[in-house]
Chain A
Amino acid sequence: MTVLPYEEALAAYDPVLGLEVHVELNTVSKMFCGCSTAFGAEPNTQVCAVCLGLPGSLPVLNAKAVESAIRIGLALNCTIAEWCRFARKNYFYPDMPKNYQISQYDEPIAYDGWTEVVLDEQVYRIGIERAHMEEDTGKSLHVGGLTGRIHGADYSLLDYNRSGVPLIEIVTKPIEGTGAKAPQVARAYVTMLRDLLQALGVSDVRMEQGSLRCDANVSLRPVGTSPFGTRTETKNVNSLRSVERAVRYEITRQAAVLTGSGRVIQETRHWHEDSGITTPGRSKETAEDYRYFPEPDLVPIAPSREWVEELRATLPEPPAAKLNRVSAEWGFTDLEMRDVISAGAVNAIEATVAAGASPQSARKWWLTEIARRANEAGVDLENVGVTPQQVAEIQALVENGTINDKLARQVFEGVIAGEGSPAEVVAARGLAIVSDEGALAAAVDEAINANPDVVDKIKSGKVQAAGALIGSVMKQMRGQADAARVREMILEKIG
């Protein structure tokens, strides 16, 4: 696949983005029936006549799903419809038991909103076209092919546990003016949305579990022109990293096509995290005709303005206001805050601070140790395997002298490996700093005796030379000593 180098692409073309995010709501029961929505159950154990679409079954709308939809709409500054309906989206696919999806078509429950995304101290205002309610599909396992993907499979196995889980689809208006920052803006938008949904408490927002899904639409137009270019839609973007990488890749790929005097094909593409490319989905001769019509088995929804205002009062702080507040509370510099935002670590730091750590220490751990591991593993921060509470615990252990920063890294390793809580890892691996003065003294004596020339240097005034002795003691103690105390003891002994 030919791609143009990124800078070259951006010199000639102006990217326009459209992001569609599907959010699985964390309601107890499904959108139209009382089956459980719990993740990870045995296949087909959370299915009934309604979500399996058995002949004669009828949907009944989950009130909590409507409430969550309205709150999401309000948090995105949308107008909440005074009257709206569901519609049937008709197409055949084995993961969709009725062969139509109950969704909303031209009457979404929320529309015409906006939100702000902060990136590198710049604020991008992103228009929200709509947020609407729909039901999720079942999951297919493709058997017999090479990759477990659909191409080349011999047959498929269907699990309908997920069928009927409530979804909210949030669609942005075209996002223009991001220029070379398009990939990062896309990522920042999804990150901000995730944090917002988390603050609203409406979803688990775990991209790796599929409760937050993003489809990225990308098109290019020659710099300085206005009509939109042909867009592609990229699916299978399963992490925040992927959002950024997929957008970036599509820009370079489309730029290569256009520069080669080709035309971008309007199609759905599939993102491959391992190879870092998109490949075309099966091309269709004509666009699918979904034959939308209002869902006759459900009645219209007319949220009263009183109810909407009641829900508005339950909204959390808007993202921009929150950033200002925490920035002031935490006392970070602009640069520090910027890094925190880029890393998508705001919520993580907030939770770590809430668990007792200082803002600076929280920032340190999330942006150094944990971010490093995230990059190595190719995952988002929250999927590294350590929680904000655990980070706070580790920091507390450092502050009370049980361990030091260097040992803390081993504790992180242990926690991530699933060895237990920070305290358990310290105990199991024997990482605690030795506070037994006797043992320390013995080690100090040994080091002094083994390095007479260094001792002489110290005696002659070169106190810095103590460093070598400290190092020796630390090695002896396998790092489990308070370096400052060791230095103290050495100097005491030498005099």
Chain B
Amino acid sequence: MALTAEDVASLARLARIELTDAELEILAPQLDVILESVARVSEVAAQDIPPTSHALPLTNVFREDELRPSLPREQLLAAAPAAEQMRFRVPRILGEEA
């Protein structure tokens, strides 16, 4: 299994968390131990078993195509770290829109 600090660092990048080197040193072995333990699930022969995605077999839950009140803009922007021109202001975005 051996999850290295490098593995953890690249997972952290994917998850947008900038871990410090000190954290990486501590986390990697901890995560490795946890992963080894959870990997026990592979001991179970489950090829023909369907996965659960919902505990209850509900289907077809819909709502009517009707308008409901939106939230007041002032209240939303008041909670924003930064706002300008009635919009949420964010730092410059490097990546392209997907």
Direct A–B contact present (CB less than 8 angstroms): yes
Min CB gap A289→B, angstroms: 7
Which of A93, A155, A302 touches B91 (beta carbons < 8 Å)? A155
B38 on the A face (CB < 8 A): no
Q: Are B89 and A61 in contact (CB under 8 A)?
A: no
Min CB gap A286→B, angstroms: 10
> Which B residue sits closest to A289, measured CB to CB?
B14
Which of B71, B93, B96 touches A48 (beta carbons < 8 Å)? B71
Q: Are A282 and B91 in contact (CB under 8 A)?
A: no
Min CB gap A399→B, angstroms: 43
C-alpha gap A249/B14 in the complex (Å): 34
> Which A residue sits closest to B63, measured CB to CB?
A60
Q: Are A43 and B65 in contact (CB under 8 A)?
A: no
In the bound complex, residues from chain B placing their C-beta under 8 Å from that of A83 are 59
Q: Are A47 and B59 in contact (CB under 8 A)?
A: no
Which of A44, A62, A65, A282 touches B87 (beta carbons < 8 Å)? A44
Q: Are A29 and B66 in contact (CB under 8 A)?
A: yes
Which of B63, B68, B91 touches A61 (beta carbons < 8 Å)? B63
User: Helix, strand, loop or mixed for chain A's interface?
Assistant: loop
A339 on the B face (CB < 8 A): no
Q: Which of these binds chain B: A30-38, A121-129, A466-474?
A: A30-38
A154 on the B face (CB < 8 A): yes
B37 on the A face (CB < 8 A): no
Q: Are B93 and A94 in contact (CB under 8 A)?
A: yes
Residues 86-98 of chain B, each 1 if its beta carbon lies under 8 Å from chain A, else 0: 1111111111111
**Contacting residues of chain A (293-318) with chain B, CB-CB under 8 angstroms:** 294, 296, 298-303
B44 on the A face (CB < 8 A): no
Min CB gap B10→A, angstroms: 10
Q: A28-B67, A29-B67, A36-B67 are in contact. Are A153 and B62 (CB under 8 A)?
A: no
B58 on the A face (CB < 8 A): yes
Q: Are B70 and A158 in contact (CB under 8 A)?
A: no
C-alpha gap A142/B96 in the complex (Å): 12
Q: Are B65 and A158 in contact (CB under 8 A)?
A: no
Q: A137-B97, A140-B93, A289-B14 are in contact. Are A62 and B59 (CB under 8 A)?
A: no
Which of A28, A62, A157, A268 touches B88 (beta carbons < 8 Å)? A157
Q: Are A35 and B70 in contact (CB under 8 A)?
A: yes
Min CB gap B56→A, angstroms: 8
> Which A residue sits closest to B58, measured CB to CB?
A299
C-alpha gap A153/B93 in the complex (Å): 8
**Contacting residues of chain A (126-141) with chain B, CB-CB under 8 angstroms:** 137, 140-141
Q: Are A153 and B66 in contact (CB under 8 A)?
A: no
**Which of B53, B90, B91, B98: most chain A Cβ within 10 A?**
B98
Which of A61, A91, A154, A156 touches B98 (beta carbons < 8 Å)? A91
Q: Are B93 and A281 in contact (CB under 8 A)?
A: no
B18 on the A face (CB < 8 A): no
Q: Are A42 and B86 in contact (CB under 8 A)?
A: yes
Q: Are B96 and A282 in contact (CB under 8 A)?
A: yes
Min CB gap A266→B, angstroms: 14
Q: A157-B85, A302-B59 are in contact. Are A29 and B68 (CB under 8 A)?
A: yes
Q: Are A61 and B96 in contact (CB under 8 A)?
A: no
B73 on the A face (CB < 8 A): yes
Min CB gap B93→A, angstroms: 5
A92 on the B face (CB < 8 A): yes
C-alpha gap A65/B71 in the complex (Å): 23
B20 on the A face (CB < 8 A): no
Which of A27, A43, A63, A156 touches B93 (beta carbons < 8 Å)? A156
Q: Are B92 and A154 in contact (CB under 8 A)?
A: yes
Q: Are B92 and A156 in contact (CB under 8 A)?
A: yes
Which of B63, B69, B76, B84 touches A62 (beta carbons < 8 Å)? B63
Q: Are A159 and B60 in contact (CB under 8 A)?
A: no
Q: Are A34 and B66 in contact (CB under 8 A)?
A: yes
B21 on the A face (CB < 8 A): no
Q: A33-B68, A93-B95, A282-B96 are in contact. Are A159 and B62 (CB under 8 A)?
A: no
**Contacting residues of chain B (41-75) with chain A, CB-CB under 8 angstroms:** 53-54, 58-71, 73
In the bound complex, residues from chain B placing their C-beta under 8 Å from that of A62 are 62-63, 65
Closest 7 CB pairs of A and B: A34-B68, A64-B65, A63-B62, A157-B87, A158-B88, A299-B58, A281-B96
29 residue pairs of the A-B complex, CB under 8 angstroms, read A28-B67, A29-B65, A33-B68, A34-B69, A36-B70, A43-B87, A45-B70, A47-B71, A52-B71, A52-B76, A60-B62, A61-B63, A65-B65, A91-B98, A93-B98, A94-B88, A95-B97, A140-B97, A150-B96, A156-B89, A157-B84, A157-B88, A158-B89, A158-B90, A268-B96, A270-B96, A299-B58, A299-B59, A299-B60
Q: Apart from A29-B67, A156-B90, list 15 A-B contacts with CB within 8 A.
A: A29-B68, A35-B67, A35-B70, A43-B86, A44-B87, A60-B62, A85-B53, A141-B85, A144-B92, A157-B84, A158-B89, A281-B96, A288-B98, A300-B54, A302-B59
CB within 8 Å of A: which residues of B? 14, 16, 53-54, 58-71, 73, 76-77, 84-98
